Amino acid sequence: MACDCDYVLKKCDVTEEHYGTCSSLLNGRTSKRNPDGSLSLPNENLSKLKGDVMYHLALDNLNFDLPALYGDVKFVVMGGTKYRMREFACYVAELLGLPKDPKSVNHTKASQRFAMYKIGPVLSVSHGIGIPSMTTVLQELIKVMFYAKAKDPIFIRLGTSGGLGIPPGSVVVSSFGLSGTLEKTYELPVLGVIRKWPSYLDKRLSEELVCSASNFDEFKTYVAGTMGADDFYRGQGRLDGPLCDYSEADKMAYLDKLASLGVKNIEMEANAFAAITGEAGVRASIACVTLVDRLQGDQITTPKTVLKEWQKYPMQVVGALIKNYVERKL
Ligand SMILES: O=P(O)(O)O[C@H]1O[C@H](CO)[C@@H](O)[C@H]1O
Ligand SMILES: O=c1cc[nH]c(=O)[nH]1
């Protein structure tokens, strides 16, 4: 089917502002890499290490030949659950006509924390819930790609989220991540001081995902901001947590404010994922399905079987993008 990105992007009313003036996004990220596309990380301390242990992945660069194991990786796809990332690995194997890893080898089984599957040029990795869990795996994966000398690796988060005013079962491709304090930044206390980094995603990559999405009629795809909340309940303005000290009117005013800032979904990692990949010079995007329209309610009441089907939508979008890259030998 012909690509109708322009149409979809216009329909979603996405402007340059959604990607920031440092639309460095594409060029800035490229300029941070070596001429051959391998990562050039801005941390001199790494070159002084005798060996580097990626503890949560149970990998290191002394006992593992990382270039041989992961030098051919082009896509690192991450999502919350082990189950989803195993399913995505199997889906990609089928899509690319590659043999399924016979034992579905979890490359990071020894860590007893996460799951990581490799199918050809794709690593499919679970990251758990929330920013601290996700950023721990993300930073170790960036180092693995660095030591492996992988060329122009692309990182994508494949997630679930709560939508704002869009039908449940829609896919949102994120243009920026918004923090809990409504800024397009990721905030982290470092050495006792709160630091902030911009949290925009790669514009060209999101356009490519929208093109991929145009192959599918079963669901709608939007490009918009995504709020990365630090909590599932009060942090997302829910009324149904064990603790709540605001009214329904307060909640609705908050969600309306988010919508007015160009946000169409809420999850728990977007701003950190955007900021860390951006700083490391890695092209990155996020595709999440929405499980509920938060303007209509807080509880996720859709049957599990339907939720499982919906979770396949972003997989299909990302799978089509990967297939396109592999067929064009990029
Ligand atoms: O479906 P995943 O990828 O886990 O993402 C979303 O679901 C979790 C909360 O249920 C959070 O991690 C949120 O970001
Ligand atoms: O509402 C939702 C649904 C999934 N994940 C979230 O973080 N929030």
pLDDT digits (tens, 9 = 90+) for 151-193: 999 999 999 999 999 999 999 999 999 999 999 999 999 999 9
Domain assignment present for 3: no
* Banded model confidence at residue 29, pLDDT cuts 50, 70, 90: low
Q: Where residue 133 sits, what CATH number does that domain have?
A: 3.40.50.1580
The pLDDT, as a whole number, for residue 145 is: 98
Ligand 1 centroid–CA 269 distance in Å is: 8
Q: Is the CB of 267 under 6 A from ligand 2?
A: yes
Span from the CA of 110 to the centroid of ligand 2 (angstroms): 29
Query: What's the confidence (pLDDT) of residue 19?
Result: 60
Is residue 17 in a domain?
no
Whether 12 is in a domain gets the answer no
Alpha-helical (H) ranges within the chain are: 5-11, 24-31, 45-48, 66-70, 82-96, 131-148, 203-213, 248-260, 270-280, 304-327
Tell me which residue range forms the domain holding 260: 29-329
283 annotated ligand-binding residue? no
Q: Which residue has the tokens 């397009």?
A: 184
Does the residue 2 lie in any domain?
A: no
State yes or no: pLDDT of 9 exceeds 80: no
**Ligand 2 contact, 225 CB (< 6 A):** no
pLDDT in tens, 246-299: 999 999 999 999 999 999 999 999 999 999 999 999 999 999 999 999 999 999
Q: 192's torsion region: left (phi>0), alpha (psi -120 to 50) or beta?
A: left
Indicate whether 234 pLDDT > 90.
yes
Tens digits of residue pLDDT in 40-79: 999 999 999 999 999 999 999 999 999 999 999 999 999 9
Q: Is the CB of 232 under 6 A from ligand 2?
A: yes
What pLDDT is attached to residue 101? 63
Q: Nearest ligand, CA of residue 301?
A: 2
Q: Region 112-119: what's the mean pLDDT?
A: 93
Report yes or no on 286 lying in a domain: yes
Segment 227-255 shows an average pLDDT of 98
What confidence score (pLDDT) does residue 21 get?
A: 39
CA distance 141 to 123: 10
Q: From 155, 201, 170, 159, select the one nearest 8 (Cα to Cα).
A: 170
pTM above 0.90, yes or no: yes
Could you tell me if 80 and 127 are in contact, meaning their C-beta atoms sit under 8 angstroms apart? yes
Q: How many domains does the chain have?
A: 1
Q: Which atom of ligand 1 lies closest to the CA of 161?
A: 6
**pLDDT for res 73:** 97
Q: What is the pLDDT of residue 31?
A: 65
Are residues 269 and 159 in contact, defined by beta-carbon separation less than 8 angstroms?
yes
| CA-nearest residue, atom 7 of ligand 1 | 160
Most confident of 5-9, 101-105, 198-202: 198-202
Q: pLDDT class for 113, splitting at 50, 70, 90?
A: very high
Residue 213 pLDDT exceeds 90: yes
- Note the pLDDT of residue 3: 40
In a domain, 22, yes or no: no
What mean pLDDT comes out for the span 144-150?
98
Ligand 2 atom closest to residue 294's alpha carbon, by position in its atom list: 1
The reply to whether 294 falls in a domain is yes
Kindly state whether residue 10 falls inside one of the protein's structural domains: no
